[in-house]
Amino acid sequence: MIGLVATLAVASILVFFMLQILPGDPAQLILGTGARPDTLLALRHEMGLDQPLLTRFFQWVSGLLSGNLGMSHTYHVPVATLIAERLPVSLPLAIVSLVLAVLLGIPGGLIAAMNKDTWLDRAVRIKTQLLLAIPNFWLAMLLVFIFAITFHWLPAGGFSGWSNGWNAIRSLILPAFALAAPQAAILTRVTRGALLENLEDTYMIAARARGLSQNAAIFRHALPNAMIPVVSIMGLQFSFLLAGTIIIENVFYLPGLGRLIFQAVNQRDLAVVGGASMLLIASVIIVTFLVDLAALAIDPRLRRRS
């Protein structure tokens, strides 16, 4: 718990450093080199840049803690409000694709491992390798081409808001699949590898020797053990999933966090970039922490040491 807080604190220092200090004068950056000195001065004052660095940092951190992420200078709206507007698109998208990846990925690995070296195993492995080589935003474009442009089954992009329930779900189906596909492939690969490794273990032979059938031994013993690496990979994959969400939102013109960040990057809206980046990093750190807790719950060997 202390580690978690410390990590978040260091992350906030780093984000502040990279956005406020490394690039030089933020006000200059926003106005460009041709700006008049008095406008520059006014903007500096407005952004609080004329105050000492340490004061600025503490203002930023105390803002983070109280949910006040500053004002966006392009929208003239609090950053927190902007993010809160966009989360109802990004969050469901990330969660749905994670669930989809688990539902598609783990059974795939199980089937491949149980039928090792048969055509089924080979088919699953080829599919896995292919999916891992495909950029998800390209897969998204292909899905748009097939399901939206050619067959008109699903919308090609845009989002009409949750008030329009069914349409909202329809517009998230393709993005969720595009995001889930490579994640599912990774889970398949890890599940298959971990299972095959466990199938060779002495405790599997011992379980068979107690009379259990091969399938019963797999479901009772090998599969729970294989979930240990699978869960830790899911934790590691979360940051890829977030990055994927940001890119995929651009393919489908979804008004989520991703679109917000890129508009902010292009308009040099540092408050928005900082607040949104901090949110992404914090969620990765917290998910890693939760995954460690999950590992503790699964594996009694970890429990005793702590």
Residues that bind another protein (CB under 8 A): 7, 10-11, 15, 18-19, 22-23, 29, 129-130, 132-135, 137-138, 141-142, 144-145, 149, 201-203, 205-213, 216, 220-221, 224-225, 236, 239-240, 242-243, 246-247, 250-251, 261-262, 265-266, 268, 270, 273, 277, 280-281, 284-285, 288, 298-301, 304
Distance of CA 40 to the CA centre of its chain: 37
What single-letter DSSP state applies at residue 71? B
Q: Provide the minimum distance between the beta carbon of 129 and another protein in the complex, in angstroms, as a whole number.
A: 6
Q: Choose between 87 and 243: whose C-beta lies nearer to another protein.
A: 243
**Residue 230: CB atoms within 10 Å:** 21
Are the beta carbons of 252 and 170 closer than 8 angstroms?
A: no
Q: Choose between 110 and 164: whose C-beta lies nearer to another protein.
A: 110
Per the listing, tokens 């902010």 go with 264
Q: Choose between 115 and 239: whose C-beta lies nearer to another protein.
A: 239
Closest CA to 110 of 225, 258, 265: 225
Q: Provide the minimum distance between the beta carbon of 52 and another protein in the complex, in angstroms, as a whole number.
A: 21
How long is the chain?
Answer: 306
Per the listing, tokens 């105050």 go with 51
What single-letter DSSP state applies at residue 135? -
Are the beta carbons of 157 and 144 closer than 8 angstroms?
A: yes
- Phi, psi dihedral angles at 78 (to 5 degrees): -60, 140
Q: Choose between 80 and 261: whose C-beta lies nearer to another protein.
A: 261
Q: Choose between 173 and 298: whose C-beta lies nearer to another protein.
A: 298
Closest CA to 253 of 263, 238, 268: 263
Q: Provide the minimum distance between the beta carbon of 267 and another protein in the complex, in angstroms, as a whole number.
A: 12
What single-letter DSSP state applies at residue 49? T
Q: Provide the minimum distance between the beta carbon of 54 and another protein in the complex, in angstroms, as a whole number.
A: 21
Per the listing, tokens 């410390």 go with 6
Q: Choose between 10 and 84: whose C-beta lies nearer to another protein.
A: 10
- Each as own residue / partner, the long-range contacts of residues 63-70 (CB below 8 Å, 24 or more positions apart, any chain) are 64/12, 64/275, 64/278, 69/271, 69/274, 69/275, 69/278, 70/271, 70/274, 70/275
Query: Helix crossing, 270-298 with 53-65: angle to 10°?
Result: 50
Q: Provide the minimum distance between the beta carbon of 223 and another protein in the complex, in angstroms, as a whole number.
A: 10
Q: Choose between 140 and 165: whose C-beta lies nearer to another protein.
A: 140
Distance CA 41, CA 45 (A): 6
Q: Provide the minimum distance between the beta carbon of 133 and another protein in the complex, in angstroms, as a whole number.
A: 4
Q: Choose between 36 and 210: whose C-beta lies nearer to another protein.
A: 210
The amino acid at 170: R
Q: Provide the minimum distance between the beta carbon of 66 and another protein in the complex, in angstroms, as a whole number.
A: 23
Q: Provide the minimum distance between the beta carbon of 162 and another protein in the complex, in angstroms, as a whole number.
A: 26
Query: Helix crossing, 223-251 with 257-266: angle to 10°?
Result: 50
